[in-house]
Structure 1
């Protein structure tokens, strides 16, 4: 019997992936109200299909339904941010520690680093943030596990929502452009364990910066 994961995605799942990508890229922002009529028209789908999309993304924690008000992009809590970083350490650090330096995903990591560095003079922080997300998604791709890769896409989307709440994208992203490059350099040099140690430290620093900025919002 075929695994359900091997079946092609339904229309609702395909559209959910598109909206998830809009969260990851920063197009959809925390607290934003989603117009059912406009989205159904823009996506060229029925409202019934869109409601199934909403249900899928609500289960993932990316959307929130408020009775008599509609559907909104979710606003992460401090507890959820802490949990996201816990999950990231469990997935990303071992993935990097066991990585093969000539894995195809390393090329993706290099492309993400180059893209972020190219966007720095223009201070295009949304594009830099997207490149950073791609860098970390590529780290997980080093595992060659479709299940981990799919799961991490959900985690990255939630993390982008947390980033979207903060009012200093330069403070959030600028220090990590060079850190990503340094991690990649260690991996390309064949020292995956050292790269993983650097990533663990990186995630701790990132978590503290995000939590500190998040606390100032309150």
Structure 2
């Protein structure tokens, strides 16, 4: 985001702390700030054109969302979610997503079709990061069907944390690719009005994804746990 864009975007927000947290959350969700990265107060305050006090308040908000972690005498780091964090993420997702699929009044099938097309394109080019981003967009769109801005915001926060979990799977492209077609199958069920079946399929999908992530973290303990580095 360029300086002019930042200034214009910030002008639309009445709460600068919330805005700063949103910018940092979006950068983390986009993979621009990786797990374990130390967040420089001085550099970020300058780039966002906010005071250090405002930035610290934004860090506090993101810490409560488990997106960043504070370490005494070390600073603030982008979080590196562990197995317990993965379990909590999927508890939330199992409550949000199937309910939106089952009862959401604003289901947007063209949006879901477009996201699947993006994911398939990324898969054909072997670009794992784009596949992961498209899959996240798909799940955000499912929750958007609820018509609730609060639920959509909750999902965006969950997905920001999920992006950190996905970093541990960056060397496992199949983790993302085999969910692309499962997403497409969900859309076909929704297109035919079989919402209950889609919700049940989604629950099984989330269970399988959680188990795969937990298995990977257990086999690669160095990639989980507290953030390190500077």
| TM-score normalised according to structure 2 size | 0.85
Count of equivalent residues: 209
Partner of residue 11 from structure 1, selected from 4, 9, 16: 16
Matched, 1:57 2:62: yes
Equivalent residue number for residue 4 of structure 1: none
User: Equivalent residue of 2:69, what SS?
Assistant: strand
2:87 is matched with which residue?
82
Contact 1:112 1:131 survives alignment (8 Å): yes
1:207 aligns with one of 207, 210, 213: 210
**Distance across 1 between alignment mates of 2:170 and 2:84:** 20
CA contact (8 A) 1:12 1:49 kept: yes
Gaps of 5+ in 1: 1-7
Distance in 2 between residues matched to 1:215 and 1:155, nearest whole Å: 22
1:146 paired residue number? 149
Aligned CA distance change for structure 1 residues 215 and 121 (closer, same or farther; 3 Å): same
Does 1:194 pair with 2:203?
no
Contact 1:99 1:192 in 2 (8 A): no
Moved over 4 A (4+): none
Measured in 1, the distance between the counterparts of 2:51 and 2:139 equals 34
CA deviation digits over 1:156-199, x for unaligned, max 9?
11111111123434022010011111101111122111211221
Q: Distance in 2 between matches of 1:152 and 1:208?
A: 20
Work out which of the residue numbers 46, 49, 57 in structure 1 matches 2:51: 46
* SS of alignment partner, residue 168 of structure 1: coil
C-alpha displacement of 1:24: 1.6
Shift of 1:104: 5.4
User: 1:17 Cα deviation (Å)?
Assistant: 0.9
Which residue of the other structure, out of 103, 110, 115, is the alignment partner of 1:112? 115
Q: Does 1:125 align with 2:128?
A: yes
Distance 1:201 1:211 in 2: 15
User: Does the 8 Å CA contact 1:98/1:193 hold for their aligned counterparts?
Assistant: no
Deviation string 1:48-92 (CA, Å, 9 cap, x unpaired) is 221111111112111111122211001112112112111111111
CA drift at 1:132: 0.8
Cα RMSD of the aligned pairs, angstroms, is 1.6
SS of the residue aligned with 1:199? helix
Contact 2:28–2:34 under 8 Å retained in 1 = yes
